[in-house]
């Protein structure tokens, strides 16, 4: 071992400490907090409470203010929240929309252009658009990146310039937005508070919460649960659990209880929640308040995906208005932003994110109805489910139940995209077939396209051939085929589409969006993509890999990621013919 000399010893540490001198470090271990950065963070946060669960909200504030998150600001935020720097770093780097810049690294350009490359956008030229923008925009001013689904599948391809959407996008339109410096969201004009109230809005909630002296029945909460059970309303975020039954389960748990609204629809092909929130936000809010009152929730958290900045502004305004009207106490409805993580559409991962953590799914049991947000019983509903509450009560549960076809009950909002004449959100009877959906609601196939296949339930719902186009699209009707309807996202494919490339696109999405917690999903999706890039697919090995992912993954992402692959091998043998 070489001798330590005066020249080789670490600076600041005496070789032979004298009497009274301290040995070792003179400063704490780790990155030292920069006083200027700490002052900036304190000014940015203002009088907001320094709570651990607000970490992600504060990261958004930093990203919005400086366009990235520097190592100095991240260390200062950790200091202000009394968190280990490693914990703040792992959360910030988990989410796609946070640009964490380490010491010595160059911050990203001031403008980010995100080009959706998920399935429907890819079908309509996303890769060509991405290449044109990379070649046509100044990289010193503008960063062009591929991004997952933005909830604009009916207007593909979609691009976001800062917080402004361009849909359908062309290179020329995007360049015009960049040149104009127009990076803020364009706000739609939804039904406002006055119009909503003028047509009976919030009367149900007023009666339910005792804000109106004229109650419509004794025990209004019980009557509401009866109406939901009789209507057959099910959770429309993907799982399809009976809504009234879920409310009853959470209500039976010990207080305090919370409610979380899942508005993080990140499944490629899904955009129905965006559709309703843009048009009638107060109907959704009234449904949420009725649900929260029924379970006696302490607070309601609305988790909205970060790709919907315009809807965030709409909801903030609507919440402020009903607070000002005295319908709800200030702070009872709390809007939280996601940060670009598909996994947070899974309810327990969403709860982890609301708590300010990485969005890692929890092991179950216990279920979130028992141990959810902050360790308390929690009701989780999706936007569309809550949207129907008022109509079911006012028009009667029988009205809703009788809308279905082929033995199903109720109405469904199908997000239809792909090779149809008229894509979009289609309000149709539950249990409708894809053939009926295309012919009756979408104006048939697009010119020059012959119906070949379809995704009945978004990226993870599998793929079926056109010969199976007469199967009802509803919960429990597709599982025996290795598919499911999920959030009712229907992507229609034609004879012009390369089905192998479709499945590769879907698997690449799951590879990118895997949270990394469990090996079958983290490694399985990566290996599957590599195998699927070969000229000849090793179907036996892919089938074995798919089984491992399905059987051993912690949550639905890994369990369902191989559904399109398995369906392609099962129902489209011609794709593998020599």
pLDDT at 5 over 60: no
- 9 pLDDT band, cuts 50/70/90, is very low
Nearest to 438 by CA among 470, 397, 462: 470
pLDDT value at position 288? 98
Q: Which helix (H) or strand (E) holds 510?
A: helix 499-513
Output DSSP code: residue 16. Answer: S
Burial class (CB in 10 A: 0-12, 13-18, 19+), 206: middle
How many Å apart are CA 472 and CA 476, to the nearest integer? 9
- 222 pLDDT band, cuts 50/70/90, is low
- 28 pLDDT band, cuts 50/70/90, is low
pLDDT at 83 over 90: yes
pLDDT at 320 over 80: yes
pLDDT value at position 31? 77
Tell me the average pLDDT across 155-164: 97
* N-to-C CA span, the chain: 65
Q: List the structure tokens of 371.
A: 């141990």
What pLDDT, in 10s, does the model give residues 423-473? 999 999 999 999 999 999 999 999 999 999 999 999 999 999 999 999 999
Tell me the average pLDDT across 288-304: 97
pLDDT value at position 561? 97
How many Å apart are CA 383 and CA 277, to the nearest integer? 8
| Weakest-pLDDT range from 222-231, 259-268, 550-559 | 222-231
- 18 pLDDT band, cuts 50/70/90, is low
Contact of 284 with 263, CB cutoff 8 Å: no
Mean pLDDT, all residues of the chain:
93
Q: What is the pTM of this model?
A: 0.93
Tell me the average pLDDT across 386-397: 95
Longest dimension (CA), the chain: 91
DSSP conformation letters of 465-490: EGGGTTSB-STTSSGGGT---TTTEE
CB burial of 306-335 (b: ≥16 within 10 Å; e: otherwise) equals bbbbbbbebbeebbebbeeeebbeeebbeb
pLDDT over 90, % of the chain: 90
Nearest to 285 by CA among 239, 321, 231: 321
Output DSSP code: residue 426. Answer: E
Parallel, antiparallel or unpaired: strands 489-494 and 451-455? antiparallel
pLDDT value at position 577? 84
pLDDT value at position 22? 55
Nearest to 250 by CA among 207, 292, 283: 292
Alpha helices in 359-494 (DSSP H): 383-387, 389-395, 397-401, 434-436
pLDDT over 70, % of the chain: 93
Count other Cβ atoms within 10 Å, centred on residue 17: 11
| Weakest-pLDDT range from 19-33, 125-139, 198-212, 505-519 | 19-33
CA separation (Å) from 479 to 308, 411, 482?
32, 20, 5
């Amino acid at each position: 071992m070489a001798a330590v000399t005066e020249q080789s010893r670490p600076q600041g540490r005496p070789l032979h400490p004298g009497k009274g001198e301290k040995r070792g470090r003179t400063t704490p271990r780790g990155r030292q907090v920069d006083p200027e950065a700490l002052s900036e963070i304190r000014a940015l946060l203002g009088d907001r409470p320094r709570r651990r669960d607000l970490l992600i909200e504060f990261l958004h504030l930093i990203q919005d203010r400086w366009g990235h998150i520097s190592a100095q600001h991240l260390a200062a935020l950790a200091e202000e929240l009394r968190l280990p720097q490693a914990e703040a770093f792992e959360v910030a780097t988990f989410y796609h929309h946070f640009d964490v810049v380490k010491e010595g690294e160059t911050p990203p350009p001031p403008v980010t252009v995100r080009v959706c490359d998920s399935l429907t956008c890819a079908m309509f030229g996303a890769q060509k658009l991405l290449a044109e923008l990379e070649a046509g925009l100044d990289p010193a001013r503008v960063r062009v990146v591929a991004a997952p689904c933005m909830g604009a599948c009916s207007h593909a391809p979609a691009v976001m310039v800062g917080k402004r959407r361009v849909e359908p996008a062309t290179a020329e339109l995007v360049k015009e937005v960049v040149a104009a410096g127009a990076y803020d969201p364009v706000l739609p004009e939804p039904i406002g508070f006055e119009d909503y109230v003028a047509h009976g809005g919030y009367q149900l909630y007023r009666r339910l919460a005792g804000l109106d002296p004229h109650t419509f029945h004794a025990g209004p909460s019980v009557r509401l649960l009866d109406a939901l059970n009789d209507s057959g309303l099910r959770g429309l975020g993907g799982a399809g659990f009976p809504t009234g039954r879920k409310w009853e389960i959470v209500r039976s748990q010990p207080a305090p209880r919370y409610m979380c609204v899942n508005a993080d629809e990140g499944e490629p092909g899904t955009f129905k929640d965006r559709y309703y929130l843009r048009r009638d936000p107060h109907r959704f809010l009234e449904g949420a308040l009725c649900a929260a009152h029924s379970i006696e929730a302490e607070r309601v958290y609305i988790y909205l995906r970060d790709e919907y900045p315009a809807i965030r502004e709409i909801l903030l305004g609507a919440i402020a208005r009903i607070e000002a009207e005295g319908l709800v106490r200030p702070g009872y409805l709390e809007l939280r932003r996601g940060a670009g993580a598909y996994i947070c559409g899974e309810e327990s991962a969403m709860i982890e994110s609301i708590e300010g953590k990485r969005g890692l799914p929890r092991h179950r049991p216990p279920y979130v109805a028992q141990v959810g947000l902050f360790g308390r019983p929690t009701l989780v509903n999706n936007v569309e489910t809550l949207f129907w509450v008022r109509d079911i009560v006012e028009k009667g549960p029988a009205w809703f139940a009788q809308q279905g076809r082929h033995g199903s009950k109720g109405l469904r909002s199908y997000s239809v995209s792909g090779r149809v004449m008229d894509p979009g959100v289609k309000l149709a009877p539950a249990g409708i077939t894809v053939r009926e959906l295309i012919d009756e609601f979408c104006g048939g196939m697009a010119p020059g396209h012959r119906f070949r296949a379809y995704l009945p339930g978004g990226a993870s719902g599998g793929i079926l051939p056109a010969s199976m186009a007469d199967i009802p699209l509803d919960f429990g009707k597709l599982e025996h085929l290795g598919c499911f309807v999920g959030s009712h996202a229907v992507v229609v494919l034609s004879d012009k589409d390369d089905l192998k490339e479709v499945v590769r696109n879907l698997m690449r999405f799951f590879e990118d969006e895997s949270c990394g917690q469990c090996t079958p999903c983290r490694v399985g999706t990566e290996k599957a993509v590599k195998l699927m890039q070969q000229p000849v697919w090793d179907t036996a090995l892919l089938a074995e890999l798919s089984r491992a992912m399905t059987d051993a993954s912690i949550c639905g992402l890994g369990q369902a990621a191989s559904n399109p692959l398995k369906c392609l091998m099962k129902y489209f043998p011609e794709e593998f013919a020599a």
